[in-house]
A and B are shown apart, each in its own frame.
Chain A
């Protein structure tokens, strides 16, 4: 997952990376793992600067899926600190650059919410619902957005 240069560049740009190996950092692996309920490897957590978990990835993912999840997590973290201007382009990037990943419909949903929070314009939600009428119709995110039609 980490050998793809896009992944490395995104991590270096956005994160302080911590690796806890089950053998080489055994005590910290156990201690931090218990604190966050990390029960399997690989488990990747995205924490804000206060140590609050904002996103979790469990299990191996191919590069596109992994990178889209990292972007999704960074976007969620921005959303949680009410920084919608930072969140929205990241959500949109996931939806546009990685449309075939599991992260894409979730990102599409939250990009609409972020745009609405920024503009207070209900058309942002309507446009999102309309987009879901053309793709990802079977996902829970499309169902959640359907109320905005």
Chain B
């Protein structure tokens, strides 16, 4: 079943995210969290 469009797929690699953001013309959102997972 495909993921709902509002489901967030997190990465944990900031350097990779910055590269992807440049390619996709997006910003990077970094969430520092201690929430139960």
Say yes or no: B32 contacts A33, CB within 8 Å.
yes
With a CB–CB cut-off of 8 A, which chain A residues contact B12? 18-20, 24-25, 28
A-B interface pairs (CB < 8 A), number: 135
One of A4-12, A98-106, A128-136 at the interface: A4-12
| Cα A2 to Cα B31 with chains together (Å) | 11
The 8 Å CB contact of B21, one of A12, A16, A43, A44, is A16
Say yes or no: B17 contacts A16, CB within 8 Å.
yes
Q: Tally chain B residues at the interface, Cβ within 8 Å.
A: 29
Q: Which positions 1-29 of chain B face chain A at CB distance < 8 Å?
A: 4-14, 17-18, 20-22, 24-29
With a CB–CB cut-off of 8 A, which chain A residues contact B13? 18, 28
One of A34-42, A113-121, A141-149 at the interface: A34-42
The 8 Å CB contact of B30, one of A2, A6, A32, A77, is A32
| Cα A45 to Cα B9 with chains together (Å) | 17
The A contact surface, by secondary structure, is mixed
Q: Tally chain A residues at the interface, Cβ within 8 Å.
A: 43
CB of A17 within 8 Å of the partner chain = yes
A18/B30 contact (C-beta < 8 A), A49-B18, A49-B22 known: yes
The 8 Å CB contact of B32, one of A12, A14, A41, A77, is A41
Q: Which positions 48-69 of chain A face chain B at CB distance < 8 Å?
A: 48-51, 54
**A→B interface (CB under 8 Å):** 2, 5-9, 11-12, 14-25, 28-29, 32-33, 36, 38, 40-51, 54, 70, 73-74, 77
